[in-house]
Structure 1
Amino acid sequence: MKFKRMNTALLTVALVFLFTNNCFAHYGMVIPSDNMIMQEDNRTIQLSLSFSHPFEGIGMELSSPKAFYVVKDGKKQDLTGNLSPLSVMDKPGWTLDYLVKRPGAYAFVMEPAAYWEPAEDCYIVHTTKTIVAAFGGDTGWDEELGLKTEIIPLSKPFGLYAGNLFQGIVKLDGKVVPYAEVEVEFYNEHKTAVAPTDYMVTQTVKADQNGVFSYCAPVCGWWGFAALNTSDKKMMHNGEKKDIELGAVIWVKFEAWQEK
């Protein structure tokens, strides 16, 4: 009986530990060193690519992306071959230096390889984008890129103050997703923010019947928005067909209000 009680207690602890460490959302991340480049700024930006729990600062391994590219004025430039390894949150990620030459909006997109998540018994594919504006131009910030799934911003995804409203449309296969769930999480880069409870680590908002969602970021910094849907296709894992979680992710930076 003593050993039985001990085994039960150990199992309970293990289950609690498993739940605690897997209840937070996964996010693909594409974070530039600067998302609003002015004439006097350094024109070469560094982009870091990773896969993580951003609020908790828990990194996960990001294998070599299936594709990484930039879209400007409807033209796509492949950057996959220019990526170099980088440690992000103590886990393998990737980096790239990019020279910005002309005014306008640049959409950087990462299409990752499928990631197997045992805790959710499915594969995860988070197509992630971040938009950088340069030299006073911003044409193309709301451009639809034709991704399998994506969030199309209705608010400029730059030049926002903390407290401003950010809105976007969730699409899957080019069609809006009514009442889509969108997970929202703060990139706690310096680990200074503390959540009152685990419920506050990842927040969730629902889109309306037109696939439009809204969110006001309470503080400045990078915020990730991930709209999750299940693919109509499956992938094999150990001889069994498994679901594929498709994430449309966009990262948006909110700025602090400043006065003289």
Structure 2
Amino acid sequence: MSLRSQLLAAACAAVCAAAPLPAAAHFQLVFVEDPLVEAAGDLPLRLVFWHPFENGQVMAMGQPQAFYAISRGKRIDLMDRLAPITFTGAENAAAAYEASLPITRPGDYVLVVEPAPYLEEAEDVFIQQLTKVYVNHAQLPTDWMEPQGLATEILPLNKPYNILAGSTFTGQVLSDGAPVAGVEIEIEYMAAEPDLATNTAKPPTAGPMRGGSVVAISDANGYFTFGIPKAGWWGFAALGSGPVKEHQGKELSQDAVIWVRAWDVQ
């Protein structure tokens, strides 16, 4: 099947509907205010495990297993740039991290966090969300279209830092580099963004969807497509798409997460 045919099939197969999942979606953030960087230097970041659509519960993050960036195919370790903070949302405060990304030359910087598994006590299940965010310096694309070799990840088929609001985003769910069919992809709008100056949540600009979580389903080739209705940050979490299914004797949901930035046409 040609790539065009695969994308058309994905667009037809993708489903946007209420799903039998908790109304509040867990989402790992690697937050940057603006992914389009004009000047070189250190770019401030925040790592928060949160419910940003409804500005809900903040989950306490443990020390990440890995935190790095990929630029021109080379890995930049960022673990020594992590510093613990407390992040405060509307419901509670919990452990999070601040960090920075050294921007030294034009191109893409693919930020990756591999967090420690988090025990969701209400369900007695561990969650580990392997998360990617893309930053670009000087409008030179270099890495965004390549997989990064994670245990599970979402490969973007649209440039993920300048999507047009009102257009679509297509991704492919991979596990150990192979497409994964029939995966539920939870979709989250970052209605409340972190305030970097205070490490608190800004007031939300939208309310959560009626009917619960918004979900798409990957097709036979791992593709899904979602129409982006509004400018801002959008997150996609492929639930349980990873190869690791157990941690410390309990079920593990190893999820692939990607955040993309949409913009209004000016």
TM-score, reference length from structure 2: 0.81
Indicate yes or no: 2:255 matched with 1:209: no
Match for 1:143 among 117, 138, 146? 146
Q: CA deviation at 1:63?
A: 1.5
Q: Is the 8 A contact 1:149 1:247 kept in 2?
A: yes
> How many residues are aligned here?
230
Partner of 2:250: 242
Match for 1:113 among 113, 116, 126? 116
Q: Distance in 2 between matches of 1:112 and 1:232?
A: 14
The verdict on how the C-alpha distance between 1:75 and 1:54 changes in structure 2, with shifts beyond 3 A counting, is same
Partner of 1:181: 184
Q: Is the 8 A contact 1:168 1:213 kept in 2?
A: yes
1:157-211 Cα shifts (integer Å, max 9, x gaps) = 0111211211110001111001221100111113131235242xx3100111110
Amino acid of the residue matched to residue 234 of structure 1? E
1:122-152 Cα shifts (integer Å, max 9, x gaps) = 1111011101111120111111111010001
Q: Which moved more, 1:150-159 or 1:23-32?
A: 23-32
Q: Distance in 1 between matches of 2:146 and 2:219?
A: 21
Q: Distance in 1 between matches of 2:160 and 2:83?
A: 26
Indicate yes or no: 2:40 matched with 1:26: no
Amino acid of the residue matched to residue 67 of structure 1? A
Partner of 1:81: 80
Q: Is the 8 A contact 1:37 1:43 kept in 2?
A: no
Q: Is the 8 A contact 2:54 2:207 kept in 1?
A: no
Q: Distance in 1 between matches of 2:154 and 2:105?
A: 25
Q: Report percent identity of matched pairs.
A: 37
Indicate yes or no: 2:233 matched with 1:222: yes
- Structure 2 spans left out of the alignment, 5+ residues: 1-21, 193-202
Give the alignment of 1:143-182 within 5 angstroms: 143-182=146-185
Q: CA deviation at 1:232?
A: 4.6
Match for 1:126 among 122, 129, 140? 129
Amino acid of the residue matched to residue 242 of structure 1? K
Q: Is the 8 A contact 2:78 2:101 kept in 1?
A: no
Amino acid of the residue matched to residue 166 of structure 1? F
Partner of 2:95: 92
Structure showing greater radius of gyration is 1
Partner of 1:37: 37
Q: Distance in 2 between matches of 1:164 and 1:223?
A: 13
Partner of 2:259: 251
Q: Distance in 1 between matches of 2:209 and 2:253?
A: 29
The structure showing larger relative contact order (alpha-carbon pairs under 8 Å, at least 6 residues apart) is: 2
